[in-house]
Amino acid sequence: MKFPRFLSAGDAIGVTAPSFGVTDPTDINRFRNAIRRLEERGYRVIETPDVYTADETGRSAPADQRVRELYSLLADPSVAYIVSAKGGDYQHEMLLHMDWDLMSRSPKWIQGYSDNTVLLFKITTECDVATIYGGNFGDYGMDPWHRSITENMEFVEGSRTSQTSFPFHEVGFADRVTGLEGLREEAPVEWVSPSGDVRFSGRLIGGCMDVLEWFHRKATADPRGFIRKYADDGIVWYMETYDMDESRISRMLNGMSDDGWFENVTGFVFGRPLFFKGEDYIGTVCDALSGFDVPKVFGADVGHKAPRMTFINGAVADFDVHGGSCELTYAFDS
C-alpha cells in the first residue's frame, strides 16, 4: 500500500470539484473562511477553475475538464493534499478519462465523501494508494472548528494515529445563514453491535453505498485483487448511505457477497443513514450479511450525518467498540 507523504508547513492544499461546483453565496463564504483558517495553519490553498462553476445540472465542468483539473494538482509538486469541493451525482463520468497509472505514480492524499467514493474507492483498490473518506473542503470553513476537523488535519499532517468517536451528531442537513456555522449537536452518538462490545481489525475499505451499489451492478470497479492481496490482514468494510431503501440494500449486499467482495472480511462498520426508506436498517443489513460470522457495527461517525471520523482507505484499522463509543487506531505500513 502506497501512503502519500504527510503535510508539512509551506505545502499547498489543492481543491477541485470532481462533481458539483459551489455557487451558493453562503458556501462561497464558507470556502473563503476555510482558506483563511488553513493559511493560518501554515498552508497555501490552490483552487482549480471548476470549484465555483456549475451548469444547470450542477456539474462543475465537462468530465474531461474535471479530470484535467485534478491532474493539474497531482502534477504540482507543492500540492500534498487534495480535497474535493463537494459531492454530487456525476463523478462517475470521469472514469472513462482517467489515467490510473498517473494516480499510482503520483500518490497524494485525496479526501472527500459521498459521490467522491467513485475516485477514492478506485484509487485504493485498483491503484494501491491510500485515500481518505472524510469531510469535503467546506468543513474547514466552520468557525470554530469541531474536534473532528482539527483531528482530520492532524491525521493528514502525520501527528495522529488514533481517534475517539464523538458524543453528539447532526440529524440531517440545515440551511446556513452566514456559511460559517459549526456542527449542530442534535442527537447522541451510539455505536452499537448486535453482539455487544467488539474489537476487530483489518485493511479498511468502503464508502457511500449508493456508489458502491453502482460499481457492483455495472461492474465498473473490482476490489477483489485488493481483498486477496491483503488477505493476511483481513478486510474491514465500512459503508453509509445517502438515499437507499431496504430492497436495494439487501440486493446490493447479497450480490456483493455472492461475487466475492466480502472474502477475508473481519468486520463491517455502518454509518448513520441519511434518507433510509424502511423500518429496520440494522435488521435489513444483518439479514443480508447473516453468512458472515464477524462483528457488525452501526451508528458509526462516517458519512452524511456529521461529525465524521477520518476513515483511511488502505490502512490497517483497529476498531474497539464498547459502551456506545469507539476507539479507532491506524497502522500506516506498506
- End position of a domain, from candidates 110, 142, 161: 161
Indicate if 138 and 182 belong to the same structural domain: no
| pTM for the full predicted model | 0.98
CA distance 146 to 20: 25
Indicate if 154 and 90 belong to the same structural domain: yes
Beta bridge partners of 59: 20
In a domain, 1, yes or no: no
Indicate if 153 and 248 belong to the same structural domain: no
pLDDT digits (tens, 9 = 90+) for 163-207: 999 999 999 888 899 999 999 999 999 999 999 999 999 999 999
User: Cα 300 vs. chain centroid, distance in angstroms?
Assistant: 13
pLDDT digits (tens, 9 = 90+) for 17-37: 999 999 999 999 999 999 999
Type of residue numbered 225: G
Say which CATH number the domain at 177 has: 3.50.30.60
Beta bridge partners of 47: 15
Burial 311-330 (b: 16+ CB within 10 A, else e): bbbbbbbbbbbeeeebebeb
pLDDT digits (tens, 9 = 90+) for 290-319: 999 999 999 999 999 999 999 999 999 999
- End position of a domain, from candidates 118, 133, 161: 161
Please determine, for residue 125, whether its predicted confidence score (pLDDT) is greater than 80: yes
In a domain, 144, yes or no: yes
Contacts of 62 (CB under 8 A, 6+ apart): none
Indicate if 191 and 303 belong to the same structural domain: yes
Specify the DSSP class assigned to residue 234: -
HSE-up of 197 (CA within 13 Å, CB side)? 7
Cβ atoms < 10 Å from Cβ of 277:
14
Indicate if 190 and 79 belong to the same structural domain: no
Beta bridge partners of 14: 46, 82
Pairing of strands 12-16, 325-331: unpaired
Please determine, for residue 334, whether its predicted confidence score (pLDDT) is greater than 80: no
pLDDT digits (tens, 9 = 90+) for 217-273: 999 999 999 999 999 999 999 999 999 999 999 999 999 999 999 999 999 999 999
Indicate if 154 and 173 belong to the same structural domain: no
pLDDT at residue 258 in the model = 97
pLDDT digits (tens, 9 = 90+) for 232-241: 999 999 999 9
In a domain, 3, yes or no: no
Domain count for the chain: 2
In a domain, 6, yes or no: no
Rounded mean pLDDT of the chain? Answer: 97
pLDDT digits (tens, 9 = 90+) for 35-92: 999 999 999 999 999 999 999 999 999 999 999 999 999 999 999 999 999 999 999 9
**Do 94 and 102 touch, CB atoms closer than 8 A?**
no
Domain span at 187: 168-331
Indicate if 84 and 105 belong to the same structural domain: yes
Tell me which residue of 125, 198, 153, 192 sits closest to 308, measured CA to CA.
Answer: 153
User: Cα 261 vs. chain centroid, distance in angstroms?
Assistant: 19
